[in-house]
Amino acid sequence: MKCRVCRGPAVIDIRRHNAGFCAEHFLHHCREQVRRGIKEHDMLRPGERVLVAVSGGKDSLALWDLLVALGYDADGLYLGLGIGEYSDHSGDAARSYAGERGRKLHEVDLAADYGYDIPGAAAATHRAPCGACGLSKRHLFNRVAIERGYDVVATGHNLDDEAAVLLGNVMRWEAGYLGRQHPVLPATLGFARKVKPLIRLGEREMAAYCVLEGIDYIVEECPMAAGNRHLGYKEVLNALEERSPGTKAAFVFGFLDRAQPHFAGAALEERETLGECAVCGSPTTGEVCAFCRLRERASDA
């Protein structure tokens, strides 16, 4: 297999693009895909301050690296979830990446700063940990962005993640979620803009990017992911992709082009009914926001 660009030996073959790339041109391909994604969806503008949600995994570290390579002013935020060794290792990976490359990493620790952790929240609510975890992440990334003057929160969701979430949402016809499933959620009162610049890159590409760029990321998966529905959807999608490369990209990009706009109204309606949380001031549909309610229950436990 040869590099599509220079005809030298390829180090990676991307079936979806029916192309191989040498190391140099693969890194260029990744930057190009991010640049295109940002431009197509008007995710970021020059001079904006970007807060990258950093987990220490391949996607978030590659995202941070790519944004800086493309000239964006991007800092990281690491959230300590208190999930045993997994959290210790992921925090180390995020800190050493930032330290080695001289980048600014903010940190919030759920236990020290908010009095609970994810395993405790799961026990207190008798629900799957990912619900409390996702809620805490959304709330805190947004809050830190607003408080510290960032214009945008960028997350490392890649094409495989988006395809799996989309399949889940379609299987249940979750109109509200489908309306919000977009690589850009615009800023509204109390919410920073949220963007997903890795939308055009797959999981395998992100792992290869890290290896080729010498980024040490945490390979172990979160132990609480077991039983997470998205893992099942990913397996199904991988089987389809294996049979016909390009299926995931067609599924996600076709949705964004042709179906998502039909659902956008449902999401807007929800936003119109928002007031302010009596405890923290964040936008919420109730008196007290879901994060403050979770914190209250989990820190009592």
User: What does the alpha-carbon distance between residue 268 and residue 270 come to, in Å, rounded to a whole number?
Assistant: 5
Q: How far is the CB of 57 from ligand Q46 (least distance, A)?
A: 8
Residue 289's binding partner, choosing from ligand Q46, Zn ion, none, with beta-carbon cut-off 5 to 8 A by kind?
A: Zn ion
154 close to 74: Cβ distance less than 8 angstroms: yes
Q: Report the alpha-carbon distance of residue 271 to residue 283 in Å, rounded.
A: 9
Stretch 12-51: interaction string toward ligand Q46, x if CB under 6 A: ----------------------------------------
The footprint of ligand Q46 on residues 129-148 (CB under 6 A) is 129-130, 133-134
Closest approach of Zn ion to the CB of residue 5, in Å: 4
Contact letters (x/-) for ligand Q46, 90-129, by CB under 6 A? ----------------------------x----------x
Residue type at position 271: R
Q: Which residue has the tokens 């395809």?
A: 163
Site for Zn ion, rule CB under 5 A: 3, 5-6, 8, 22, 25, 277, 279-280, 282, 289, 292
* E-strand stretches of the chain: 12-14, 19-21, 49-54, 73-80, 105-109, 152-154, 184-185, 193-195, 275-276, 283-284
Residue 133 binds what, of Zn ion, ligand Q46, none (CB under 5 to 8 Å, by partner type)? Answer: ligand Q46
Q: How far apart are CA 254 and CA 270, in angstroms?
A: 25
Cβ proximity to ligand Q46, 152 vs 218, nearer residue: 218
> How is residue 99 written in tokens?
């330290």
Q: Cβ(4)–Cβ(20) under 8 Å?
A: yes
**Closer Cβ to ligand Q46, 25 or 139, answer by number:** 139
Least distance in angstroms from the C-beta of 191 to Zn ion? 13
Interaction between residue 67 and ligand Q46 (CB under 6 A): no
Torsion angle of the four alpha carbons 173, 194, 72, 144, in this order, in degrees rounded to the nearest 10: -140
Position 231 contacts ligand Q46 (CB under 6 A): no
Name the DSSP class of 18: T
Site string for ligand Q46, 203-222 (x = CB under 6 A): -------------------x
The number of residues making up the chain comes to 301
- Nearer Cβ to ligand Q46 (14/133): 133
Kind of pairing, strands 19-21 and 12-14? antiparallel
Site residues, ligand Q46 (CB under 6 A): 118, 129-130, 133-134, 222, 224-225, 228
